[in-house]
Structure 1
Amino acid sequence: MPKNKIMIVEDEGLTAAYIQDILESVGYVVVAHEFSGEDAIESAMTTEPDLILMDIRLQGRMDGIEAAGEIQKRMSVPIVYLTAHSDKAILDRARITQPYGYVLKPFNSKELHSNIEMALYKHRTEKDLHVSAFYDTLTGLPNRSLFFDRFEQALKQAKRSQQSMALMMIDINAFASINETMGHEVGDQLLVDVASRLRDCIRESDTVARLGDDEFIIMLTGIKDPNDACDVATKIILSVGKPFYINSTNCSLGVSIGISIYPADGDSLKTLLKEADTAMYRAKECGKNRYRFFNETCEMINKDIGFLLDKLVSFVIARKGVWDQDGWVDLLIDIKRRGVPFSTDITRYVGALLESLKKLYVSALPVDANVDKIIPILSHEILDFILEHDGVWKQGDWEALLANVQTHGLEMSDDLYNVLRDSLESLNALYVLLCKKCSYNSRD
């Protein structure tokens, strides 16, 4: 167990040395000894002690009480005062800084040690209570109470700076069936993993919280355009939609997302929360892996993902799994002529799917397989699987797909398994990106 770090603030050299000897003899680490309040403030920020022993009377313009007040504005650290004076005026001033104890000089090692241990214990207890009061115990995300407090503060700032904000309600589709079929242990781990992926989808200035069960909420601050929320929602759908591998279990999740925008949709937490919740239920009514704005025109546009898949399969077969940069550029140009809207993400997933099809052609299938015939069949079975399940599947669905593949006389090798999994993930990402387009119309 790591030793507690103590900082001493004492302008009497002999007294400071005596205190340090006591602390080190009982197992503490003295990280700094400062003589003035000004130096104590700077040192506390760099050494990050677990506790500060602060003499009330110090040399210089700042006494220990003033220094303690400034330190507590910057960090949470317990402070125990050292003093030879116990007059009421001084104690009243010190009490304002909410110290964790007083040690009257002169003192012995037992008195000092017991006061430090009591202060450390009290601080740990308060910290644990704070965490349990404001953070979700399973995922470590802020809970409802902390999120609403942060949102209210951010809303005030947005009103002062005349910036926009977005509130996103997120629900995991059919999560109850996960607990029923796979058990609560797997369900809890999935929630932890989902929370981690959600954190990765937002900036440090934004906040994601767990409202309870399988519901999460996100606050996006300082957005330049409401369609910025579209980008985040799509990123979330793609991230959460990637397969989860827990205890040899392979499953994919879908989410329904409702979005409200400040100031276009309202100027209070109550209103924005209600509207985001309404939008989320609209998204759920439309199926899986959807997001909806409260005030929107959201149109499902079929970009003929079958055409895109056919082009990639034909490209691989025609070139027998070998091509150069010019061939890759020609393929992209040909696809763009069809009207497929390209972005960095779409190009990346087209490349990933192309690499998977290349591996399927070159090495994953048995040497005696008719690759020119079997690759289009397998590719469209994967696409049919995605369309049938709308990009969301469970372990049993995945196993059924693998079983269907084997009906073509193929042995499920590790290479074939991995290529099919990678192809499914890449094609599913393209399905989300190409077949779901949303635009936001603000109110008149």
Structure 2
Amino acid sequence: MPSARDANWIDGLRGVASFMVVCGHLCTAFAPYLHSPAQGPNGTPYLFQYPFFRLCVGGRSAVALFFLITGYVNSIGPLSKAKNGDVDAAFTGIARSALARSLTLIIPTTIATFFSWFLANTNAYKMAEHVDATWIRQGYHRQEPTFKAAISSLLWYEQSTWTTGWNEYDGTQWTLPLFLQGAFLVYLTMLATAMVTPTARRLVFTALYIFGWLSYKEGIGPTKTLNIVFGMVVADLHVTLGPSATSTLPAPLPALLILFGMFLACYPQDNPEWAPWTRFMRDLMLPITPHGADIRRHWDSLGASTVLLGIFFSGTARRILTSPIVNFLGRVSFPVYLLHNQLIKSILVWMIYLPSALNPQYNEHGEKLDLVRGSTLHIVGSLCVFYYVLYRLAYAWTLWLDPVIARFVKKTTAWAYGEGRVSEKVLLL
């Protein structure tokens, strides 16, 4: 089982990843040109189009980190028990975690969808229909004409996240079924390898990683399988090396791994041929990936995996991730992920586009033009307020909703296992 410090640095990494996802979605909404490596084929790049700076406005590598953490956290318990020869305890832990994991993903997602549905049907998203940010307009959902239609819409999209992989009220939930599938990939792998030798288990990990590399349909293989499997590999390293991991490599190597991984994760979403360094990365990856693969997903995975490996071997990086501020980001990471899209389409849009909404412009045909943003200072101030509200709401979620959800999960799993009373043991989720 992971120590408290080990769990804390993982929580800190999760918090950093959630913050990066929000930054990436803000960039997609208001500065999509930053997804290319320059202003044009012969243009000079903006600051945030350069390597390393790009990570401040890119969220894809952060999503890869979430999958890596899922593979690490869900496998470390069974691996620890299997190493100690307590195979029965490993099987029991897998069984308990599988049911609890499902509930701890589905229940918060259901609440978040209800919140977005409520905002949409009280016209809180109305302004988002007319803004000049394409990504926000695409996420707009109209108010339903009748109460019956609204209820029908709510029921449909509550389940569509898990059945179709898409939710009209919150498009960012597309990753959640993949997180659940990834967790069960871990459980099945642990179930199949709990009794084998470490060498045989690592051969299984290698086979799964190759499978993920070659499974490229819509980027699902690189996004999910590669990162989940590598998370299990790092968990296996933790079980093997224990506390000595941070002193295994010479001091410069972990830092170099982190920096190298950050560079790999900077591969752009669009137009990699516009800059020499991204063109080189594209040409390097194309021969070793299947035809038609979305190679940016492979670079995201390689970059995030290398960063995780560097952090795992670095005592300094772990100490930074266990600092109070970063650990707080980790505590609120899941509600931040669930709530940020709704707040972008409501509160942030209201603030940024309010001056234009108060003074609407029309074309020569009398048609209302798209709303335009306020000044740069106005936008910066709006973003500060947005982040404050987002993290305050996420913190309130952890104080009020998380304990209720945790009690419900414990009672439900206790009932399912036929136990007379709820165990006080904390489940590893």
TM bucket, shorter chain: under 0.3
Larger Rg: 1
Q: Of Structure 1 and Structure 2, which has the larger fraction of its residues in helix?
A: 2
- TM norm structure 2: 0.22
Answer 1 or 2: higher relative contact order, Cα 8 Å, separation at least 6: 2
